[in-house]
C-alpha cells in the first residue's frame, strides 16, 4: 500500500499520473473475447483490467424466480483474488454484493427486458486487476458485453467517478486519489443523461456534487465515444445502420404490442357499448311491440295456469275486458275462465295490481 502523497495536483495543474483534473485515464476495449459467452468485453482503464461476460437470455431456474412479464437481469461483480495487492478472499463479500446490486440497477432503463419474460440475463464482471474505479470500469465493460450478446437496449450506459483531492474536484480517480482523497462519487448514466448510479464516499458540498455530476457527465461522453468506436469497429458502419434498424424494429414490436393491448381494451369497450345499445333497442322494440309482448305474456300466464296458479275472478274479468280491447272479437277464442284473459292482463298484471292497490289506498 502506498502512503498518502503530500500533494495530488502540482503547480501546473497536473495530477500524479500526469492527467489534468478533467481527464479520464486511457481506456481500451475489445468485444467478443469469450467464445462460450453470448457476449463479452475486455476493458482496460488505466491499470484496471476487467472482463465482462453476458449469458442469456436463457430460461431462469428455479422457476419461482421467473418474472412473468420480463427478464430478470442478474449482475455479478467480482474481484479476482489476485486483483489487488492483498489477496482478496474468494466469494461474495458485503462490498461485492452491494456493488453487484447497484451496478445491475444501472442498466434498468436501457435493457429491454420485456422481450424475454421468464428468462434471465446474467452479467458477470470480473476484475482481474484493480486500480480504483473498478465498479465503473465493470459497468463500461458490461454495457459492451450486453450489446455483444445482442440484448435489445435503448442505449448505452457509461460510468465514471469524480472525487476531491487538494480541495479540487478531479475526474476518474486513480488509486492514491481514491484511497487518500476527500471524496469519491461514482456515477453511471444513459446516453440521455439519466443518472442510473450515484454513490458517495467522503464529504462534498451540494455545490461540489452538482459540479461533480457535470464533470462525470463529460467523462461519460468520452466513454460513450469509446464504446461507439468499439461497436463500429466490431460491426462496421453498415452493420451499425442495421443495428439501428433492428432497434427501430424492436421498438415497433413493442409499440404494436401496446397497440394490441389498446385494441383489446377498445373492443371490450365497444362490446359493452354495443350490448348496452342493443338492450336499449330491444326494450324500445319491446315497448313498441306491446302486442307481441302481451301475446308472450299470455303464453306465460297460460303456462302458469297449467301449473295450477289460478287467476282470481277479478283478474279474469279485468283480463277479459282488456283482451277484448286489444284483440277485439277474437278474444272469444281464449277461454277466459282458463286464464286467457291473461293477454291483456298478464301484460298489465303487475301494473294492474299496483294500480288496484293504489286505487285501494286512495279509496281508503
Residues that bind ligand CDP (CB under 6 A): 84, 88, 130-135, 175, 178, 184
Closest to ligand CDP by CB, 130 or 147: 130
The cell numbers describing 255, all together, are 409499440
Q: How far is the CB of 154 from ligand CDP (least distance, A)?
A: 25
Sign of torsion over alpha carbons 16, 20, 25, 26: negative
Closest to ligand CDP by CB, 40 or 140: 140
* Beta-bridge partner residues of 51: 42, 126
* Beta-bridge partner residues of 124: 53, 76
Q: How far is the CB of 166 from ligand CDP (least distance, A)?
A: 19
Closest to ligand CDP by CB, 41 or 50: 50
Q: How far is the CB of 6 from ligand CDP (least distance, A)?
A: 21
Closest to ligand CDP by CB, 137 or 336: 137
The cell numbers describing 107, all together, are 442498466
Q: How far is the CB of 155 from ligand CDP (least distance, A)?
A: 23
C-beta atoms surrounding 351 within 10 Å: 11
- Cβ(191)–Cβ(156) below 8 Å: yes
d(CA 163, CA 181): 7
Closest to ligand CDP by CB, 140 or 227: 140
Q: How far is the CB of 161 from ligand CDP (least distance, A)?
A: 7
d(CA 11, CA 89): 41
The cell numbers describing 362, all together, are 286512495
For residue 212, give the H/E element and its range: helix 206-288
Amino acid at each position: 500500500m502506498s502512503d498518502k502523497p503530500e500533494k495530488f495536483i502540482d503547480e501546473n495543474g497536473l495530477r500524479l499520473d500526469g492527467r489534468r483534473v478533467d481527464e479520464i485515464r486511457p481506456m481500451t476495449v475489445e468485444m467478443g473475447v469469450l467464445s462460450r459467452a453470448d457476449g463479452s468485453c475486455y476493458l482496460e482503464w488505466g491499470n484496471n483490467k476487467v472482463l465482462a461476460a453476458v449469458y442469456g437470455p436463457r430460461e431462469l431456474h428455479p422457476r419461482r424466480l421467473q418474472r412473468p412479464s420480463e427478464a430478470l437481469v442478474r449482475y455479478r461483480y467480482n474481484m479476482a483474488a489476485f486483483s489487488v495487492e492483498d489477496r482478496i478472499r474468494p466469494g461474495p463479500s458485503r462490498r461485492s454484493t452491494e456493488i453487484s446490486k447497484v451496478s445491475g440497477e444501472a442498466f434498468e432503463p436501457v435493457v429491454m427486458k420485456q422481450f424475454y419474460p421468464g428468462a434471465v440475463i446474467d452479467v458477470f464482471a470480473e476484475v482481474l486487476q484493480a486500480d480504483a474505479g473498478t465498479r465503473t470500469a465493470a459497468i463500461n465493460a458490461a454495457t459492451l458485453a450486453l450489446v455483444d450478446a445482442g440484448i435489445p437496449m435503448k442505449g448505452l450506459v457509461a460510468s465514471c467517478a469524480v472525487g476531491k483531492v487538494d480541495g479540487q474536484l478531479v475526474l476518474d480517480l486513480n488509486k492514491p486519489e481514491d484511497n487518500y482523497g476527500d471524496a469519491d462519487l461514482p456515477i453511471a448514466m444513459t446516453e440521455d443523461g439519466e443518472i442510473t448510479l450515484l454513490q458517495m464516499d467522503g464529504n462534498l458540498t451540494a455545490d461540489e456534487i452538482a459540479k461533480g455530476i457535470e464533470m462525470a457527465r463529460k467523462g461519460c461522453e468520452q466513454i460513450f465515444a469509446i464504446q461507439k468506436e468499439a461497436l463500429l469497429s466490431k460491426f462496421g458502419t453498415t452493420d451499425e445502420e442495421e443495428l439501428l434498424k433492428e432497434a427501430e424494429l424492436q421498438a415497433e414490436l413493442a409499440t404494436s404490442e401496446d397497440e394490441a393491448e389498446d385494441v383489446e381494451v377498445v373492443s371490450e369497450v365497444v362490446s359493452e357499448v354495443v350490448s348496452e345499445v342493443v338492450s336499449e333497442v330491444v326494450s324500445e322494440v319491446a315497448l313498441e311491440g306491446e302486442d307481441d309482448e302481451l301475446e308472450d305474456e299470455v303464453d306465460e300466464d297460460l303456462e302458469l295456469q297449467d301449473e295450477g296458479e289460478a287467476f282470481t275472478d277479478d283478474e279474469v274479468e279485468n283480463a277479459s275486458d282488456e283482451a277484448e280491447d286489444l284483440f277485439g272479437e277474437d278474444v272469444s277464442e281464449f277461454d277466459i275462465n282458463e286464464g286467457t284473459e291473461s293477454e291483456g292482463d298478464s301484460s298489465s298484471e303487475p301494473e294492474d295490481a299496483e294500480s288496484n292497490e293504489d286505487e285501494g289506498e286512495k279509496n281508503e
